[in-house]
Each structure stands twice: as structure tokens, then as C-alpha cells.
Chain A
Amino acid sequence: MKQLIPALASVSLAVLTLFAPAMAADATEYQAALTEARQTLGDAESKVQLWSTSEILLEDAEKAAASGDFNLAVKLATEARLQGELAVATAEREKQIWQSHVPK
């Protein structure tokens, strides 16, 4: 049994190393999430539909990244992107129907 312990430890380490990138975000992943979020929010803003909450999320993401918490930074940037996508969806839907609310 004692002989198995180093072998088990080695296997565990290998498994951990293999899955580590998926568990902990890094600066590269954060930059990708940030770029995507900025593009989506830019799209929402160009359609006069940006939410008041989205840019705050991005600011918080930048602060988290600056403190080295890339997991939180990616989470916040992703949330900002999702908000931007919803805002764009509203813009596209409203473009089609707003006139129906105007009294005729």
C-alpha cells in the first residue's frame, strides 16, 4: 500500500494539471471575454439601447483582473456581454414594433 501512495499522488497531480486551465481563468481568457463584452456593448450603444448596469460590470471586471482574480473578472465580463446581447435583442425587436404604439 505504501508503494501505491507515490503513484496515486502522481496520478492526482497529473489530473489536476490537466484540468487546471478549465478551473482557473487567466489573463488571456479575461482579455477575450473583455473584448467580446466591449464589442457587444458598443453595438448596444450604437442602437441607443445600452443598460445602465453593463458598464459598471465591466469596470468591476477590470478591477477584479487588476487584483489578479481572473475567475471573477471573466464572470463579470461575461455578464456584461450577456446584458449587451439582451439590449441588442430589445433594439432589434423594438425597431420592428415601436410604430404600432403610436396613436393613429
Chain B
Amino acid sequence: MKKFLIACFLFVVTVNVYAKPEDDRLALREFFAQRFPDMDLNEMINGLYAFDEGAREQWLEMEDFPPYEIAVEEGEEAFNEPFANGKGYADCFENGGIGIKQNYPRFDEGSGEVITLEYAINQCRTDNGEEPLPWQTGELAAISAYMAFTSRGNKMSVVIPDDPRAISAYESGKEYYYTRRGQLEFACENCHMQSAGLQLRADRLSGMLGQATHWPVYRSKWGETGTLHKRFRECNSQVRAKPYEPQSRVYRELEYFLSYMSNDMEMNGPASRR
């Protein structure tokens, strides 16, 4: 009887302590709903342009001839170019790779790892005897931009399966997001939750919701289209934390958490930012 009561107590404690990803997501939306009561939260997929009307107008004008358009065209061409073995990217993905970005990152039960879209693109190449592409810009970012373009309008639908490895990956990404680091001791949360919408030098800081819906991004600062992990590295450098390699386990798990937080929001990649 005593053992049974202890087991019941531990079960209740465990259930209460563990916050499910969906609870996290809803609590996050509530956080931003209270922070910005007059704003449609779905506007946050547009980053800083959700907060800054002047910058938004300039951005909308730029969208008439978007700077990422070249990447989308080059990406489409590269996507349709067959590999040496005659196969292509379409053979590696569900629905021929069209309109599927909202499902990434996904958890792969076989390897027990988080697979981002860029990771899957290079995996497709190596599985077919091709050399992997550089992770952050260039052809890989272009193919990802094309695949994102075909996914516009779909809703982010990242799944955290009931698998301890998937939950652990999600939790690791979450811990990373909320942990202060680097010489300046900033967490992602400090800028993109506490300070979301506030002015930082010449720009406003984007909010965490919708941060994963619009990648890859053409940043004027970069002068090219780059991946989310390029931005992760930049953020780390800005707070003087050692950046990880693009597509490292740390960054893939961070993307997993970040993307889940944007679930049910519209995919709008690729995008342009300052």
C-alpha cells in the first residue's frame, strides 16, 4: 500500500511538473496577447514589420520586387536538376518536395535525431552520391527558398511525437532559448520576448512567435539569402557566445523548439529583412 501511494505521488508530481509542448505554445501566445493586446498575433510572422508601421511600408514596397526572388528561381532550377544517378530531390520528399516546409523540422525515429529541411536536402544529395552543399547560403539556401515558396500559405505543423528522444530534443531547444549565454549574458528570450517590439539601435526587435515561418531570408545586411542557422550563428556572435556549426545538433534542436512555437501560423518564406 505504501509503495502504491508513493508511486501515485510521484506520478502526480511528474505529470504536474512536465509541461507539454502544446501547453508551452499556448502559454507563449497568451504572453504575447497580453503584451500586445491590440495586435493580431498572426502578424508576428512578419517580424519587426508587425511593430513598426514605417518600416512595414518600406518593406511592402520592396516586396513588389523582392530581393529573394533570384534565390527562388535558382532554387527551382537546382531542385529540378537531376543527380548523376538520374534521381532528384523530388524523389527524397513526400509530395515531390512541394508544399512541405511546414512539416520541418521533423523527428526521425530511425536515427533519433531532429531533421531540418536543409539537413534533409543535403541528406538527399549524399544518399544519391552527390556532395553536400555548404549549409548557410548559396545553392542550399536557394533550394530551401524555393521549397519554402511552394509552402506559402500552409500552416506550420511541426510534430513532437510521444517519444522520449523527441521530447528531450524539444526540451534541449527550449532550454537553449531561455538560457543566458555569452560574454554579454543574453538569452534569445531577452531580445525576442522581453524586448520584442522595442527599438535596438536603428531597428525593432522581432517577437518569438512566427520567427520560424519565413526562412530562408534575404537580409540586406548579408546581401544574400541565408538560412535560419546562419542567423542563429549571428545572434550568438552578437552576445559573444561561441556559435555552433550550422545544422549542429544544438541548432537543430533549437529550431525544433522554435518552429513548434510557431505552429498553426502561416508559412511566408522566403522573406526579406534589413
Contacts and interface: CB of A to CB of B under 8 A. Distances in A.
B128 interface: no
A103 B243 contact: no
Contact of A50 (B19, B30, B180, B242): B242
B240 interface: yes
Interface residues of B, number: 26
Interface stretch (B6-14, B182-190, B199-207, B266-274): B182-190
Contacts of A103: 24, 27-28, 30-31
A51 B236 CA distance: 9
Interface string B166-180: 000000001110111
Interface residues of A, number: 19
Contacts of B236: 52
Nearest to A45: B242
B241 A49 contact: yes
A94 B187 CA distance: 10
A50 B243 CA distance: 9
A101 B189 CA distance: 8
Given A52-B241, A103-B27, A98 B181 contact: no
B250 interface: yes
A52 B237 contact: yes
Contacts of A52: 182-183, 236-237, 240-243
Contact of B181 (A49, A54, A55, A102): A49
Contacts of A51: 182-183, 240-242
A104 interface: yes
A90 interface: yes
B274 to A, nearest CB: 23
Contacts of A87: 181
Contact of A94 (B27, B179, B183, B242): B179
27 contacts: A48-B179, A48-B250, A49-B181, A49-B241, A50-B241, A50-B242, A51-B183, A51-B241, A52-B183, A52-B240, A52-B243, A55-B242, A83-B183, A90-B180, A90-B185, A94-B180, A98-B175, A98-B179, A98-B180, A99-B178, A101-B187, A101-B193, A102-B178, A103-B24, A103-B27, A103-B30, A104-B19
The 9 closest A-B CB pairs, nearest first, are A103-B31, A50-B242, A103-B27, A98-B178, A94-B179, A101-B178, A98-B179, A52-B242, A52-B240
